[in-house]
Structure 1
Amino acid sequence: PVQYGVAKSAQIQLAASLARELGPDGIRVNAVSPGSMLIPGRRWDRMRRDDPEAYAGFVATELPSGAPVAPQEVARVVAFLLSDWSSGISGAHLPVDRAQNAPSPDGY
């Protein structure tokens, strides 16, 4: 988890720095940080199916909203950032994690 947190922090800082550097050229740069997502056949879906007790514990401990993020929720944020509606947003970090606020899918 430490390595993931450090790498993620560096990516967020890189996006902010690039936004300042590339802004004069009309280029916007933002960082989107998805939380744990329930994707068919992937990690959390397999855990939910194979070990429902562990999955329920993960959700209760790490997901204040009681559910992982859906891929469509992340896609909507990205689509918004690509739209003209977000023209004033650059150098931002947008977590799409339902308040999971963890440096890795495994928590802190």
Structure 2
Amino acid sequence: MELGLKGKRALVTGATKGIGRAIAFGLAAEGCNVAVCARDAAAVRAAVAALKEAGVEGFGMTANVGNRPELEAFITGAAAALGGIDILVCNASALVDGAGEQAFRDAFEVDLLHTRNACEAALPWLERSGAGAIVSISSISGSEDYGFGYAAYGTMKAALLFYIKSLARHVAAKGIRANVVSPGTTFFEGGVWDQVKQENPDSFARALADNPMGRMARPEEIADAAVFLASARASFISGVNLVVDGTLTIRVQN
């Protein structure tokens, strides 16, 4: 299926590993020029070099997305380097564990407020695009409590669902779409579930058993959903929460 993404200009936050990296390179595979940010400068440089090797324009900047000036500098720099913005993917997450006040502050600033601030900063370019697309990466933890101790994490991921739905309705007349992808448990080397596998194999085995498919997602499987929602093939899809969990959740989606 031709997705109509060739030559589009995409920004992805938290894009040097895991789901974010898979999204960045999934977009590049469709011909998008891609800008990435993360806190690790060496990882950003490596990602940009790999994007250029893939045959597209790449731009990167070191940024803590919880710091609004740094986030806005990345968006402004990326728009200048790529000549505009057609796609914004807000992927970065604090991945905090627990229900303490600091956990809530961290999750609020990185998961929720970074998404809001990135969208506001990118909206002028997305409007000029004529076919702007926003994709926010939430989680099934925003809809169901799995008892992982992610009270702050799940709370902010749930807030993203409302924010993006409301945003989608407000920007629709400007030719901008906004959607959410909610991954289930996703495994990649160096990720959270890799750590659980190494440190608590019993918990990892139980997590696998919870999914009727008997496995976790690969980052590329989450990325495929995000790339589709960012594309012209999803031109009449906006304000939705696309759950990619291999039937892990048990509720009926609504």
TM-score w.r.t. the length of structure 2 is 0.37
Matching residue of 2:234: 86
- How many aligned positions are there? 101
Structure 2: gaps spanning 5 or more residues: 1-149
Matching residue of 1:24: 173
In the alignment, residue 77 of structure 1 is paired with which amino acid? Answer: A
Structure number with greater Rg is: 2
Name the CA distance, whole Å, in 2 between partners of 1:78 and 1:19.
16
Name the CA distance, whole Å, in 2 between partners of 1:91 and 1:57.
33
- Cα distance, 1:50 vs. partner? 4.1
- Cα distance, 1:5 vs. partner? 3.1
- Cα distance, 1:64 vs. partner? 2.6
2:230 is the alignment partner of 1:74: no
For residues 15-65 of structure 1, give each alpha carbon's deviation from its aligned partner in whole angstroms, at most 9, with x where no partner exists.
Answer: 11111000000000001111111010222123324443331122113x232
Q: Which has the higher contact order (CA 8 A, sep 6+)?
A: 1
1:36 to 185, 202, 212: 185
Name the CA distance, whole Å, in 1 between partners of 2:245 and 2:217.
6
2:134 is the alignment partner of 1:6: no
Name the CA distance, whole Å, in 1 between partners of 2:171 and 2:162.
14
Name the CA distance, whole Å, in 1 between partners of 2:192 and 2:153.
17
Counterparts in 2 of 1:9 and 1:59: CA distance versus 1, 3 Å: same
In the alignment, residue 237 of structure 2 is paired with which amino acid? Answer: I
Q: Percent identity?
A: 37
2:205 to 56, 59, 70: 56
Counterparts in 2 of 1:7 and 1:46: CA distance versus 1, 3 Å: closer
In the alignment, residue 4 of structure 1 is paired with which amino acid? Answer: Y
Name the CA distance, whole Å, in 1 between partners of 2:207 and 2:185.
10
2:249 to 92, 101, 107: 101
The answer to which of 84-93 and 45-54 deviates more is: 45-54
SS in 1 for 2:197: helix
- Cα distance, 1:89 vs. partner? 0.2
| Structure richer in strand, relative to its length | 2
The answer to which of 25-34 and 39-48 deviates more is: 39-48
SS in 1 for 2:181: strand
